[in-house]
Amino acid sequence: MRGIVVGLGVLMAASSYAVAAGPLAVGSAFPDWQLVDHTGKSVSSKDLAGKTYLLWFYPKAQTPGCTTEGRGLRDRIDDFRARGVEVVGVSFDAPEANAAFVKAEGFPFRLLSDKDRTLARAVGAADASDAPVARRISYLVGPDGRVRHVYATVTPATHAADVLGDIPAP
């Protein structure tokens, strides 16, 4: 299993987030969340309930590492879909910056804006509400809303293959 977990998971109250001491633990409940995607549409954990999804936090749209990571996920999207996994990116960028990133790279997945860092702080992707960028971390969340895998150390060039290696092929 990739993505060794360090720290304790925290649960989120219905209307506020707790700050994580680090990445959430495998098996813990992933906090409920609601963010705006690159089209301005509200997206929430409730929209993805019953599905497996990869939530990948990336530091900044259209930067070299984030572009490499996003392209890897894009290029393997059929493999993710065949395994029943929806890919969703999250950064602190405004929806407009994420929209430009989607357009420039032809991403077939949503990019969400966590401008106030609320979700990022709850899951260990940021330590403070003034963090300049998100920590590069990903969570594979199961249809039951529980963390299946944590990728606390991400190599952009191999991230898609690393995640797919943890998901049984159909």
Question: 12 pLDDT exceeds 90?
Answer: no
Q: Which of 66, 87, 112, 122 is catalytic?
A: 66
Please provide the size of the chain in residues.
170
Is residue 22 very low, low, confident or very high in pLDDT (cuts 50, 70, 90)? confident
What does the longest C-alpha to C-alpha distance in the chain come to? 42
pLDDT score at 109: 98
Q: How far is residue 100 CA from its own chain's centroid?
A: 19
Burial 33-43 (b: 16+ CB within 10 A, else e): bebbbbeeeeb
pTM: 0.86
State how far the Cα of 157 lies from the Cα of 91, in Å rounded to an integer: 18
Is residue 169 very low, low, confident or very high in pLDDT (cuts 50, 70, 90)? confident
For 34-164, CATH gives 3.40.30.10
The reply to whether 54 belongs to the active site is no
Is residue 60 very low, low, confident or very high in pLDDT (cuts 50, 70, 90)? very high
